[in-house]
Amino acid sequence: MSYSTQPALPVGRYAYDDVDRTFLKQRVEQFRDQVQRRIAGELTEEEFKPLRLMNGLYLQLHAYMLRVAIPYGTLSSPQMRALAHIARTYDRDYGHFTTRQNIQFNWIKLEDTPDILNVLADAEMHAIQTSGNCIRNVTSDQFAGAAADEVLDPRVHAEILRQWSTLHPEFTFLPRKFKIAISGSKQDRVAARFHDIGLLARKGENGRAVFEVYVGGGLGRTPIVGVKLRDDLPEEDLIAYLEAVLRVYNEYGRRDNMYKARIKILVQALGAEAFLAKVNAEFAAMDRARYRLPAEIVAAIQARFGTPEFQAENGAADALAAQQKADAAFDAWVRTNTHAHKQPGYACVTISCKPVGGIPGDVTSAQMDLLADLADKYSFGELRITHLQNVVLGHVRQDALHELWQILKANGLGTANIEMVTDIIACPGLDYCALANARSIPIAQKLSERFGNATLQQEIGHLRLNISGCINACGHHHAGHIGILGVDKRGEEAFQITLGGSAMEDASVGQILGSALSEDETVDAVARIIDTYLAQREAGERFIDTCRRLGTAPFKDAAYAPV
């Protein structure tokens, strides 16, 4: 039985027009010429570097890495198949989903890059502004347009911000990279407070959107929770206000020291009130009519998104309940890996890219093709990539969940661990990255195996475990309930543990427990920390709740206990 139909417009993502397609093709040919000049020796690496970075191409330890943008995390099934083709043809048969809802290919040959970008352009994708000191990929809620608790669909506004920020002449060479996230739910599913600009949307009194605006959050060397600048920014002023923030940053942000160039440093240096005053002054001086975002423009952008043709509920919930009662393993997966949908009879499904012992975020070309097929059959041809390195099918009928789960399970994608201890976030680390101090992948695999027992994971409950290979924090370790940071300890790889971080509404920065440990010592220390939680938690307490109640002392004692 087929559970969805293919609409005229791609569901969940903005449909390109001829202007978009022509622009991408022209961009590919421009870069093809630059690559040929580099290979011929007409451009030095120093001259070529800013050109390749503007097209998402990095030079890492062993090869070039291409980072492909997935705007607000939404993909169509043909786009996923295009990514599978790239993985098979130009890489080593896999891709890596990142914490910015992008995909990275780690084994790219320079001479192949223009052809890869051409494949992407044919699929209405690109790698523009996935690197460099510019506004990066705008991220959004992985359940956008589907979640029962959503007040509005933030993908429309994310697309507006994408169009505004792409090749913006004033913001192409900022002091440092700049990241924006937007959520349409009261629940912060985008880590808004850890972004350069974080937006939480809600309906205003007149029915139009208003936004809470957070500025100056970030991780890396100086982890900071962003400050709230506005409670109720009107939708019509969204572009103008963000432009004002960027103008202030562009004018006052430091360019003499890359480690102090992020907007979070500027906000802290000026103070929140002084920064807000500068933004307000810039905002007041702008020609607001020129930047006004009228309701008809928002409606026109929204019209370029396809709409699912949902079926009537017709007993789907009853069928699901019966299947859950008959199969305990399936019931555990449903409780862990599905999210309430606003349409009766449907569910949002999170597909774990973290099997026990696996590499977080890595997906093979065969799995990508399978995910595309499953999206066509069960979710209107649409997929989402989450900032937690998983994949979502946004619109699955409840009576199709059991069939879907069986297929996923047979192909290594059926792990029931979302938001549990083995749902680990990890960057590629020293296996690939020239900036890393330590490998993230092996310790992630060891921790996944250590806690792989499904019953144990259920007993532990909600716990975020994040791993970064260096202080740049691509694995968001400071925002993990338990964070692990790779460091260089007298020429050896070692790992520092942080405790008590959160990227949700209760955002907090994890605190360092003590000195760095070896890989195996760190795995054992994490196990003792979790044992301490299980022994001392009160009824209903999550790991983060117990940490905040007890403080770090008992966990530090456990982590560094002599063995």
If you write DSSP's letter for every residue of 246-291 in order, what string do you get? HHHHHHHS--S-GGG-SHHHHHHHH-HHHHHHHHHHHHHHS-HHHH
pLDDT per position as a tens digit, 398-451: 999 999 999 999 999 999 999 999 999 999 999 999 999 999 999 999 999 999
Contacts of 22 (CB under 8 A, 6+ apart): none
User: What angle separates helix 18-39 from helix 45-53, to the nearest 10 degrees?
Assistant: 160
Angle at alpha carbon of residue 109, lines to 57 and 114, rounded to 5°: 65
C-alpha 563/C-alpha 556 separation (Å) is 14
Q: Which amino acid is at 344?
A: P
Amino acid 296: pLDDT: 96
Domains and CATH numbers, the chain: 13-123 (3.90.480.20), 135-302 (3.30.413.10), 317-411 (3.90.480.20), 425-560 (3.30.413.10)
Residue matched to tokens 């001829």: 18
Nearest to 69 by CA among 32, 116, 120, 16: 120
Nearest to 47 by CA among 56, 35, 60, 32: 35
- As a residue count, the chain comes to 563
Amino acid 478: pLDDT: 98
Residues 146/149/152/155 CA torsion (nearest 10 deg): -50
Burial (CB < 10 A; 0-12, 13-18, 19+), residue 2, is exposed
Backbone angles phi, psi at 305, to 5 degrees: -100, 130
Nearest to 239 by CA among 283, 195, 183, 281: 283
166: which 2 tokens? 């792409």
Amino acid 2: pLDDT: 39
Contact 204, 235 (CB under 8 A): yes
Contacts of 453 (CB under 8 A, 6+ apart): none
Residue matched to tokens 């001086």: 285
Amino acid 186: pLDDT: 86
DSSP 538: P
Report the run of H or E that residue 17 belongs to, with start and end.
none
Amino acid 5: pLDDT: 37
Reduce the DSSP state of residue 152 to 3 states and report it.
coil
C-alpha 441/C-alpha 11 separation (Å) is 34
Amino acid 8: pLDDT: 62
Ranges in the chain, pLDDT < 70: 1-8
